[in-house]
Amino acid sequence: MLVLEASERAGGQIHTVHEAGLVVELGAEGFVARSRALPALCGLLGIESALVDQLTTDTYSLEESSLVLLPPGEAARRLGFQVPVEELGRGIRSLAQGMGQLIDALLGAVGAERVRLGCGVRQIARDPQGLLVELNDGKHERAPAVVLATPARLASALTAPLGLSETAPLASAPLLSNVSVNLKYRREQIASYPPGSGVIFPDSFASVGLRALSIVEHKFAGRAPADTSLLRVFFRPQGDALHTWTDERFVAEAAAAIAHVLGVQGDGEPQRSWVSRWPDALPVFSPEHRAQAAAADQALQQLHVHVTGSAFHGAGIDAAVASAEIVAARLGAAASVGVPSP
C-alpha cells in the first residue's frame, strides 16, 4: 500500500496545533457523539482511552444584545449541520490532545515509509498492466487498484481519462467554503462569560459571514490554561471575501464580534490568533449529489477505482471513517479472491 498526499502534511481537514498549553483546532473539532466508527478505530490504534466527551452542549443565541439559551439541537439546525435529526443536541466527541491525535496514531500504524507528502496526482488512466497514476512531477505509479479520498470535483478531474460518463457530473458538485479564527485572550479580559459551549450570531452579522462563536475551554477540558480564554469564530465567507480579505481582516471581524457578545476589557486585543481557510471544503448532500456520487462510485468500482471520504458517503469525520471501512472490506474481499491491494 502506498499513500499519496498532495499536501505537505497528513490529515486533510483535521489539523491540530499545540502551543503554550493550548490545543488549537484549525480544522474539524470533533465527531458526532453517537459515532461507532471512531471509537472502534481508536481502539484498533490503541488510543481509545484518549476519547473525551463534550463538557456542555448548552448554546446561546444573541438576541437584542442579550444571550438566550437555545433548546437542544436548535443551534445545529440553524447552522445547517448535515447530521441525522436524532443527533441534534447530542454534541460531539474528540480526543484529549485534539483530533490531530488520531492522525498521529494513523501515521504510526501505516508507517512513514508508506506515506508520500507533497505528492500530488495529475490523473488516473488505464494501461495493459492495470491503473496508471500520473503524478504532478511527471512520474508514474502503477497499481491494480486505487482508492481516491478527495473532494468530488477533484475526483471527477482525476478520473476523466477513464472515460466514464458517470463521473462527469461530479465536476460541478455543490461545495461550501469555511473560515475560522482562533483567538487567545487573557481570561481577565472577558467581561461576560456564559457557561455554555458557544453562541450563534444573529442574521444581522451575516453581512460579513459571521456564523458562530465556540468557547473552546468550555467545550472540552484541557484546551487552555486556567488564566487563558481560547475562542473560535466561524465564518461562511460572503462574496469574494475568502480570496480578498487578509487574515488581519478576518481577525478584526472576529475580535469585534467577541467584544460585542462577551465584552472585552482593557485594550481588547487578543494575544494570539490563528486563521484557517478551507475553500470548497464542505460537500452539500442534496438528493441530486447523493445520486451522482452513488452512480460514479458504482462505475469506478468496475475499473478497480474506489472513492471514499465525506465527499461521497456523508458529511463529517464519522462518515469518512465508516466510508473507509466499507472500501477496506471491499478490497479485503477482492484480495481473498486474488486481486492485489492498492
pLDDT of residue 291: 94
Fold of 120-173+284-336: FAD/NAD(P)-binding domain (3.50.50)
pLDDT in tens, 20-65: 999 999 999 999 998 999 999 999 999 999 999 999 999 999 988 7
Least confident piece of the model among 39-43, 124-128, 179-183, 262-266? 262-266
Q: Where are the domains of the chain?
A: 56-90+175-283, 120-173+284-336
CB contact at 8 A, 284 and 298? no
Position 74 confidence tier, pLDDT thresholds 50, 70, 90: confident
Q: Is residue 173 predicted with pLDDT exceeding 80?
A: yes
What single letter denotes the amino acid at residue 324?
A: A
pLDDT of residue 337: 45
d(CA 258, CA 122): 43
pLDDT in tens, 137-167: 999 999 999 999 999 999 999 999 999 999 9
pLDDT of residue 339: 47
Cell of 221: 477540558
Neighbours of 336 (CB within 10 A): 8
What single letter denotes the amino acid at residue 342?
A: P
d(CA 198, CA 231): 9
pLDDT in tens, 297-342: 999 999 999 999 888 888 889 999 999 999 999 888 765 544 455 6
Q: What is the mean pLDDT of residues 291-298?
A: 95
Q: What is the mean pLDDT of residues 241-270?
A: 91
What single letter denotes the amino acid at residue 286?
A: S
Grid look-up 486481486 returns 339
pTM listed for this prediction = 0.91
pLDDT of residue 222: 96
Please, what sign has the CA dihedral across residues 264, 269, 271, 272? positive
Terminal alpha carbon distance of the chain:
5
Q: Is residue 193 predicted with pLDDT exceeding 50?
A: yes
85 or 195: which carries more pLDDT confidence? Answer: 195
pLDDT of residue 286: 87
pLDDT of residue 241: 93
Compute the residue count for the chain: 342
pLDDT in tens, 78-123: 777 656 666 666 789 999 999 999 999 999 999 988 999 999 999 9
d(CA 94, CA 135): 34
CB contact at 8 A, 323 and 312? yes
CB contact at 8 A, 233 and 183? yes
pLDDT in tens, 197-238: 999 998 888 788 999 999 999 999 999 999 999 999 999 998
pLDDT of residue 72: 86
Q: What is the CATH number of domain 56-90+175-283?
A: 3.90.660.20
* Nearest residue to 209 via CA among 252, 166, 164, 239: 239
